Structure 1
Amino acid sequence: MGNHVLFNELRERFEAHLALLEQVAVDGDAESALPIMRREVPGLVAALRELADEHLPDDDGHCRKCRSGPFWRRVPAPCRMVLKVHLAVGAATATTRDRTLWTPRRHRLQESTAA
């Protein structure tokens, strides 16, 4: 039970820290946000690099971190974690114009022409 309490405390602190950084980045003026971002962003980049390095493909093209169990259950690279990070970074860097113009054609419901 002690590990769960410690994990929950660390998770809550981490979430609060990220929320504060997000608030400063979005709502802060350049003069106050710049020193905070210069101090915090290198750590975030290092954490993402470490996470990405854990999920490199092996010689057979399977994720090293996600592979577990028999060979038929191995996860092909890029695994879900890598894809989620790429999507999250892309969504964070997309401009408002990009988000309003993007249409998922493959999964979009088609409008009925018979009315």
Structure 2
Amino acid sequence: MSNLVLFTELRQRLDDHLDLVSRVAAEGDAESALSMIRREVPGLVAAVHALVDEHLPDDNGSCRKCRSGPFWRRIPAPCRMLIQVHLAVGAAKATTRDRTRWSPSRHRLQESSVD
């Protein structure tokens, strides 16, 4: 199995799992949502902490994970990944009453046409 096939499979499983967790939390009855939240949130928080810890700035203020190449091309902290995490958390807090949805291709909140 090539790395691309393995990556694709792992990514699909993660996407399916996160979709399930999100759907149960948003649409499930109170008991199943609470059970899912108690079981899944600690792991999700640990995953976000692991990502954030990888992207800490070095002594020069550049992201340790994103830096590459000559010093003039290094990315200052906060890097793009940290900004995307903050945007995604903010989008997740938006309610359906706000009629907003997260658009990862545009990296911002947009008006939703879904009622």
TM-score bracket for the superposition, by shorter chain length: 0.7 to 0.9
Relative distance call for 1:96 and 1:9 in structure 2 (3 A) is closer
Higher relative contact order (CA 8 A, sep 6+): 1
Evaluate the alpha carbon distance shift between residue 71 and residue 99 of structure 1 in structure 2; reply closer, same or farther with a 3 A threshold: farther
Cα separation, 1, equivalents of 2:96 and 2:20: 22
Q: In structure 2, what is the equivalent of residue 16 of structure 1?
A: 16
- Cα deviation for residue 91 of structure 1 reads 1.1
Q: Does 1:53 align with 2:53?
A: yes
What RMSD, in angstroms, separates the aligned Cα atoms of the two structures? 1.6
- Cα displacement (A) at 1:94: 2.8
| Identity within the alignment, % | 73
CA displacement at 1:2 relative to structure 2: 1.2
* Partner residue in 2 for 1:104: none
Which sections of structure 2, spanning at least 5 residues, go unmatched?
101-115
1:3 is displaced (CA, Å) by 1.1
2:19 matched to 1:2? no
Could you say which residue in structure 2 is the equivalent of 1:69?
Answer: 69
The residue type equivalent to 2:11 in the other structure is R
Give 1 or 2 for the bigger CA radius of gyration.
1
Q: Tell me the residue number matched to 1:88.
A: 88
Q: Is the alpha carbon distance of 1:59 and 1:37 closer, same or farther for their aligned partners in structure 2, counting shifts above 3 Å?
A: same
The AA in structure 2 aligned to 1:30 is A
Query: SS of the residue aligned with 1:83?
Result: helix
| Residues in 1 aligned to 2:64 and 2:98: alpha-carbon distance in whole angstroms | 34
What do the CA deviations read for 1:6-61 (whole angstroms, capped 9, x no partner)? 11111111111011011101101111111111011100000000000000011111
For residues 36 and 42 of structure 1, the distance between their equivalents in structure 2, rounded to whole angstroms, comes to: 11
Superposition TM-score, scaled by structure 1 size: 0.81
CA spacing shift, 1:60–1:99, aligned 2, 3 Å: farther
Aligned length, in residue pairs: 100
TM-score after normalising by structure 2: 0.81
